[in-house]
């Protein structure tokens, strides 16, 4: 991938963890939008660590849908959320909490289809200096 890419959308079906990790290791630092769907395979930890190590610093929009993420996986991603992230879509995972460490610029957080531990747990885990994101969707 060249360093001028700004958007990347990937739909996985029967891709190995190694193949997905290789894509994440090669993410361009100029990426502003990343959409990843259905990496629902074993060894999600390999993919999560690869994404965390190579999180593009200019990322404004991140969609990870139906990838089987857990709260432990979010724990790997929490320290590396880009400071300019505005939109996070984590639809259809196994997370019982929302991401931690998202900054006050976050406008949309989607957590539908996750077994969250109540609305208070969701709002407590969205750290936006006391402000809620403009839209938070968390219906199951």
Give pLDDT tens digits for 20-49.
Answer: 778 888 899 999 999 988 765 555 677 889
Task: For residue range 58-74, list pLDDT tens digits in order.
Answer: 999 999 998 888 899 99
**Nearest 10 degrees: Cα torsion 56, 59, 65, 71:** 70
Question: What does the pLDDT read at residue 34?
Answer: 95
pLDDT in tens, 84-112: 999 999 998 888 888 888 877 899 999 88
Q: Within a domain: residue 1?
A: no
Plot region of 38 (φ>0 → left; ψ -120 to 50 → alpha; else → beta): left
Per the domain annotation, does 68 fall within a domain? yes
Q: What's the predicted TM-score (pTM) here?
A: 0.78
Number of independent structural domains in the chain: 1
Residues spanned by the domain of 78 = 7-137
Residue 2 falls inside a structural domain: no
Domain membership of residue 51 (yes or no) is yes
């Amino acid at each position: 991938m060249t360093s001028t890419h700004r958007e990347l959308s990937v739909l996985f079906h029967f891709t190995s963890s190694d193949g997905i990790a290789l894509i994440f290791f090669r993410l361009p630092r100029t990426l502003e939008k990343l959409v990843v769907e259905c990496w629902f395979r074993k060894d999600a930890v390999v993919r999560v660590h690869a994404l965390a190590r190579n999180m593009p610093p200019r990322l404004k929009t991140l969609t990870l849908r139906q990838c089987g993420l857990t709260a432990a996986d979010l724990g790997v991603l929490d320290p590396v959320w880009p400071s300019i992230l505005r939109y996070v879509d984590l639809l259809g995972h196994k997370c019982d909490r929302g991401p931690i460490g998202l900054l006050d610029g976050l406008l949309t957080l989607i957590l539908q289809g996750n077994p969250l531990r109540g609305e208070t747990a969701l709002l407590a885990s969205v750290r936006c200096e006391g402000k809620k994101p403009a839209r938070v969707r968390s219906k199951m």
